[in-house]
Amino acid sequence: MKSTNWRIWDIRSGKVGTLPYFEELLGHCIDKTHRGEQVLKVISDSSATDEDFTISQRPKIFFQIEGRNRVTHPKGETIVEPGEILIVQSGSPHREERLFHRKRYAHVYTNLTIQRYAYYAYVRCGDPTQKQFNFANGYVDCNKNAFALQMLDELCEYATHNPQEDTELCEGLLQAILLQLLWIIRHPQGQEGEHPLIHSCKRLIHEHLQDPNLSVPRLAEFLQVHPDYLSRLFSEYSEQRLVPYISECRINLAQEILRDLNVNIGEVSTLCGFSERGYFGKVFRRKTGMTPSQYRQREKWSMQTNPFQIKRQEAETR
């Protein structure tokens, strides 16, 4: 598979978008899996716990790039080394600790629902003289995700119950999942009847939410149209104005980070494109009716009191 050897730091510098980087990363992992060189680790445990763990609503796949990810869970601790893949099954309590290598840390993590495949590139720099962290994300809508979700469940079951006996089966399932995910991101599907320009605009918004300077004029410049035309077309096809849509997407991303990543509120604010933590808190409260800290606690309590809620919801959706 042809490779341009993008580095994850090229996303941070703007040399490459999140999607082409992730597409190349998936291809590299597929090649490693085919050669029998890809290391896979799985956390699949829905045990109730009183510890301060994150409980993901959807299965997460981590691709470790730089540094190490120390993931604590009810059964112990898993260290994810650079080049390794970690799958955390939905409903599994876990807590991440990012360990720098030469003042750098980076991973890509993804989650999958029946209709949407979302991917996130997270980089952290330990050098106080440079930008401390960056978060880039994107998504692909596709109606072919159910097959990948089913294979993920099968892989988690085999990898946790019979890892030695089912090595070849696990490798085959992993390769099939990665190939399916690569197919999904290469065949995006817009909503039925959606204008192509609006679809492109929404993709751009999600890929640049961490940029505090994201605005209608900048989007229009990317899309090579007049800002007034873009705003009018967006309102016509989305039944929502463009600026409130950007704000809504930022708050949705903040909710995702608060649920799935153990980072402080100030970092969440920056990762979602807010220049000031105070303003972020005000917008978040206006949209959700609670502070970011209250939201995080509510989500944690909800999952701890009903740990099988997510699996039931997924089963009903399927």
Can you name the residues that pair with 52 across neighbouring β-strands? none
pLDDT of residue 71: 94
CB atoms within 10 A of CB 190: 14
CB 155 within 8 A of CB 149: no
DSSP state of 275: S
What value does the mean pLDDT take over residues 252-258? 88
pLDDT digits (tens, 9 = 90+) for 179-222: 999 999 888 776 666 788 988 898 889 888 888 899 999 999 99
How high is the mean pLDDT of the chain? 85
Q: Which residue has the tokens 């980089």?
A: 123
Residue % of the chain over a pLDDT of 70: 88
Residue 313 pLDDT greater than 60, yes or no = no
What value does the mean pLDDT take over residues 137-160? 87
Residue 26 pLDDT greater than 90, yes or no = yes
pTM equals 0.78
What value does the mean pLDDT take over residues 148-159? 91
CA distance 197 to 182: 24
Residue % of the chain over a pLDDT of 90: 44
Q: The dihedral of CA 108, 132, 139, 58: what is its sign?
A: positive
Residue 132 pLDDT greater than 80, yes or no = no
What value does the mean pLDDT take over residues 133-148? 81
pLDDT digits (tens, 9 = 90+) for 99-121: 999 889 999 999 888 888 888 88
Residue 1 pLDDT greater than 60, yes or no = no
Residues found in the chain: 318
CA distance 165 to 152: 18
What value does the mean pLDDT take over residues 38-61? 83
Residue 306 pLDDT greater than 60, yes or no = no
Measured at the CA of 164, the angle between CA 174 and CA 31, to 5 degrees, comes to 30
Closest by Cα among 109, 115, 64 to 257: 109
CB 67 within 8 A of CB 100: yes
Domains and CATH numbers, the chain: 9-186 (no CATH), 196-317 (1.10.10.60)
Q: The dihedral of CA 224, 227, 229, 230: what is its sign?
A: positive
pLDDT of residue 181: 93
Q: How confident is the model at residue 16 (pLDDT cuts 50, 70, 90)?
A: confident
CA distance 233 to 235: 5
Q: Which residue has the tokens 């972020």?
A: 280
CA distance 181 to 175: 10
Q: Which helix (H) or strand (E) holds 95?
A: strand 93-99
pLDDT of residue 317: 39
What value does the mean pLDDT take over residues 41-57? 80
Can you name the residues that pair with 71 across neighbouring β-strands? 78, 96
What value does the mean pLDDT take over residues 273-300? 91
